[in-house]
Structure 1
Amino acid sequence: MKFRSIRFRLSAFMLAAVAIPLLLSMTITFLVTKQSLREQTTGENERLIFQGAANLENYLQSVNKASIAVYKDPHFLTNLTRIPNDYRAAAELYTSLDTIRNTVPGIVSVYMHSYEAGQSTLVTGSAPKRGQREHSYTEDVPYRSNALYIEASHPVHLYGFSSPGPAYGKDAKVFTLHRSIQNIPSPRRLADLSIDVSLDTVRSICGELYQGGSEQLYLLDATGVVIYSSNETLIGQKLENPDLISGINGEQKQGYFEADEAMHVYRKLNAELSGWTLVKQIPYETLYARATRLTEINAGITGAALSVAIIGTLLISIRITQPIRQLLRYMEKIQAGQLDVDIQVTSRDEIGMVFRRFRRMMDTVNNLILREYRLELANKTNQLKALQAQINPHFLYNTLQSIGTLALQHEVPRIYSLLSSLSRIMRYSMKESTLVHLKDEAEHIRMYLDLQKERFDDQFDVIFDWEPGVLEEQVPKMILQPIVENYFKHGMDARLGRTLLRISGTRPAPGRLRLMIENTGLSIPHDRLEQLRSLLSCKPDAAVPEELAAPDESVGLRNVLLRVRLHSGEAGRMDITNIEPHGVRVILDIKTEERE
C-alpha cells in the first residue's frame, strides 16, 4: 500500500524528472566547457607566445645590430692592427665598444680580443681593462658558419681580468652574444667580440606571458639549456624533461602538445639568430579550473533541486485540498456582498494561479466601480473650473475696459493705450492654441515692450528685423517673452546708459526658422553661462541635476526650449552666447514646413 500511494509515486516521478536532466546537463556542460576552454586557452596563448617571441626576436636583433656596428666604422678594422702602441687607436676602439654597450638597454659589458695585436679589452660601466694575451678568452666558443653564436645564461664573469669587474653583481646571470670579426670579404678572423646582456629585458618580456604560481614559462636554447624560466633556479641549467624536449623538437615552428598533466604552447625563434624556443606550460588544474568550478556549482544546484523537489512533493500531497477549501470560503463571502475580501495567496502552483487570477478579477471589479465614481466627480469639477475660467477673465477684461474708458474721459490716452496693451497680452496668453503665427508672437512682444517702455523710458531702444515672409511661419506660443523678460531682470543696468534690444527672424535654410534676440546690456558671467548651457543640453524628460537647478532665468529658458522641441523634435535648438563688448545673444532654431 505504501508504494502505491500518490505521495510515493509523485515523489519518485519528481526525483527522476529532476535528477536525470540535471545530471545529463551537468555532464554535457562540463565536457563542452572543457573543450571550449581548451580551444580558447590554446588560441589565446598561441597569440600571446607569438607576440612574446616577436618581442624577444626584436630585442636580440637590436643586440645583433649593435654587434655589427663595428663594420660601419671605417677605422675600426685598421685600429685592430695599430693597438697597443697607438694610444689614439686604442681610444677609438674603446669609444666604439662603449658605444655598443650604451646602444641597447641591458648590455652589461663588451669584451673584444684582437688577434692582430694580441690584446684583450673589457668595457664595463667602470674604467676599461686591457691586457696582452696570445689567445682569446672565448676562443673555444663554437661559432656558427655566420660567425655568430649566442651563449646560454651563465653567471657574469670578467673574461680573465682581475676584479673589480662589472658593477652588476657577482651572482647576476647574463647571456652572451659572440661574434667573430672578419676582414670581409676575406674569412680571416681578426678579432672576437662578446656582448654580455642581462636577463632584465628578457625577464620583463617573459613576465607578461604567464601567471605566476599557476603557470610555468621556459626559454630554451637549441641544446635544451634554460635561458630564462619562471623558476629562477633553473636558469643556466639543462632542462631534464624528455617529454617537453621531444614535444618541441618537431619541424613545426609553433604549436602545442600535452605532457605531464599539462598543456604546452611553444614558439621557436629565428634559428639563424638564436635558435631559442619559448614554451609555456599550463597545468590541467589551471586550464580546466573554470570547468571544474562550473561543475561544482551545477552539482550544488542539482542537490538543491532534488531537495526542493522532495519537499515540494510532500507539501503538495499534504496541502492540495486546503487551498481549495479556502477559495470556497472567499467565494461565499463575496456572494454575500463583501467585495473587499482580503484574498491571501501563499502557494505558487496552479491553485495559487487560480487564487491570483480571482484576486485580480475582484480588484478589477472594485477599480471599475471606483473609476466610474471618480470620473463622475472629475467631470463635475472640470465643469465648475470651466465656468470659473469663463467668468474670471470676462470680469477682468470688463474691468480693464472700464478703467480705459475712464482714462479717455479724463483725457489720458497713454493710460488707455497701456491698458489696451495689457488686455491684449492677457488675451494672447490665455489662448488655448499652442501654435501661433510669428506675426502674432511679434505683436505680443511689441505690446509687452510698449509696457516696459513706460517703466524704462530712456534706457533702451528696440529694433525689429524680420526677413520677408517669416512672419507667416507657425511657432510655439510664448517663446519670445521669457527671453526678453530676462533682459529686463538681469541685463539692464543704468551704468551702461541707453542699451539696444534687437529681435530678428531669418530663414537659414528651407524648412528652418532662426529667431535671434540680442541686447547690449550686461553679459552673463562665464561660470553661469556654462551652467546654463549644461542645463539646456539635458534631455527634456531627464531630471535636472541639483547643481544645475536654479535661478528663474534658467527655468524660463528651459521651458522655451521644451516647447520648441515639442514642436520641432531634436531639430529644435537654443544657443546662448555673450557678445562683445557686453551683451547677450540668444538664438532659437525651429523646424517649419517647407514652402514652395
Structure 2
Amino acid sequence: MAFLRKLSIRSQLIILAACTIIVILIVIFHSYSMMSGMVTRNHEAYVEQTVSEIRKNVTSNKDVINRLMQNISYNGEVQRFLVEGNDLLKYEQFKDLSELLTNQKELKEGILDIVISGANGAWIDLNGGNQYVASLQQEVPPKVNAYYVGMQKFGSLYGSGEGLIFATPIYYKEQGDMFNRLVGTLFFIMNPKALAGEQEYASKQYSSHIYLLDKDQKVITSNSEEPVGSLLQDIPEGEQSDPNAMIEWNNKKYVMQTVSVPDIDGSILSMAPKDELLADLLDIRKLELTILGICLLVLVIPFTFIVNNILRPLKRLIFFMTTVKRGDLLKFKKRISLQGYMEISIMATELNSMLDEIDHLTQRLLETNAELYGIELEKKKSELAFLRSQINPHFLYNTLEAITGIAVVEGQSKIKTMTRSLSNIFRYSIKGGDVVPLREEVRMIESYVQIQQIRFADRFSVHYDISEEALAFAIPKMILQPLVENAIYHGFEPTLKAGELWIKGSIDGQGKLFLTVEDNGTGMELSRLEELRNRMSASSSAMPEAEDGGSIGLVNVNNRIKLMFGPEYGVSMDSVLGGGTQIRLTIAERRESDA
C-alpha cells in the first residue's frame, strides 16, 4: 500500500482500471467454469436417465415377449400340431393356430410376425417370415426362452428393412415316448424400435449420440442419423470396457460410456463429442470477451476525459502553489480560479481563503511591528526627557540634609519638616527598582503632602482608605504622585476655601488594583474634561510639551500604565465644575514578590 501511495494519480487510476478488467475476466472465466460444470452434470444426468429408460424398456419388453413365447410354446394345440403326422388334421389345426398366433401378436405392439417351425418340417407363420428364420433353428441354444438370435433384413415383407428375431425351442410336454423332445422352434420377429419403447430418443440434446446395440454391434435404435441395422465401424477395440472412455472416432474426440444389456446380450453406447459438448458455452465466452473488448475501447474515451478532468486542475493548482512558494510578492497577491469537480473547487476556494488570511495576518504583523517600534521610540523619548529634566539627585539629597541640620540648630521646625520630607522624596526616587509596593509609594505621598500642607497653610486635609491587600500590590514607581499633585494645584490652589483630598485603594475579585484620587476642589469645565480624555485615549506617538500644563503628568501616567499592562488599563477621570475631580487608576495584578 505504501508503494501505491507514492504513485501518481494517473498511474493509480490505470492500475484501478486494470484491476477492474482482471476482476471482470475472472468473473467471466469463473462463470464459464461453473456453467461448463453444470452442462457436464446435466449431460451426465441426461445420459443416465436415457440409458436407464432404454434399459428398463428393453427389460420390460423382453419380459412380455418371454411370457408370450411361453404361452405359445406350451399351448396344447401347438404341441399336437408339431407332432401330428396326418396332413388333414394339420390343416384343420392350422386355422385354430393362426387365430391363436394372431391373438398373441395383438397383445404386444411391435411384433411383426410369429413363426412356428417344426422339427419334422411343419411350420406356420402369420406374414410369411418362415422362409427367413427356418434356417436359424440350429443357432438357438437348448433350454432357453426368448433367446435373441440377431437382426436380419426382411426386404419389403414387413414394410421395414430390419427386424429383431427372438427364438424359443419347443419341447413336447405330454407323457410318452416324445416327452421333453425338441419338436420345433418358436420365432418372434419384432420392430427394432419397439424393443426400446415408444419414447422418442432421437433428441439431439447436448450433441450426444446414444446407441442401443445388439451382440453384433448393430444399431437397434439411436438418436443419431445412423440407420437401424448398421454396424458401428472403426470404434477402437478394447475401449468400450471403460465406462467413461475417451476415444477418437471419425477424427473427433468423444467421451464414451457403455452400459451392458444382458437381455439381448447387447449394450447401450453413449458418445458425446468433447468439443461440441461445450460449443455453445465457448461461443458465449467468445461473445462476452468480444463485448468486453468493445466496451473497453468505448470506455477509453470517457476514461481519458475523466483522468484529464482530474489531473489538469491539479497540475494548475500545483503550479500555482509552486509559484507562491517562491516568495514573489506580486504572485502572492494573485488568486487561483479552478472550474472543475467539486473537490478541486473547494480546494481552490480554501487555498484562496488561506492566502487571504495570510495576507491579513501579514498586514497585522506589519502594523504590530510598527506599533511596537513607535512604543519603543516613545520609551526612548521619555527616557531622554527624564534625563534632561534631572539634576544630580545625590547632590540635592546631600544639600537638603545639610539644610535640615541647620534648621534643627536654628529651631526652624517648618523648614526642618519640609526639608526632611523633600529628602525622603529624593531618597525614594533614587533608590530601589522601578516597581515598588504601594505602601512605599504612599509613604512618599505622605512626605509630599506634608510639604504642600505647609505651603498652603493647612487649607486642605488628606484621608487615606487603602486596604492591607492593596498596600502589598506592586506598582510602577512615582505613578501616584502626579495625580496628587494635579489635585492640589488644579483643585485647591485656585480657591481659598478649605478642601479635602481622598486617596483610596482596593483590589477586585479578578486581582486588579483600583486607585482613586478624589478632591472637592474647583473641578473643570466639560470641554476641558473631554480634551483631557481625548489626549489620554489617543496613541501617544510624541511626548506632550511643557506648555500642556498639568495634563502632562496625567498623560505620562496613563501612557506608562498602558505600556506596562496593556490598553485595557490606565487612567480615567470625571470632574464637575465647582464639585471636584476624581481620577481613577486601574492596574493589573503584580504582587511584590513578582516585582
Higher relative contact order (CA 8 A, sep 6+): 1
Same-fold call, TM > 0.5?
no
TM-score normalised to structure 1 length: 0.45
TM-score by length of 2: 0.45
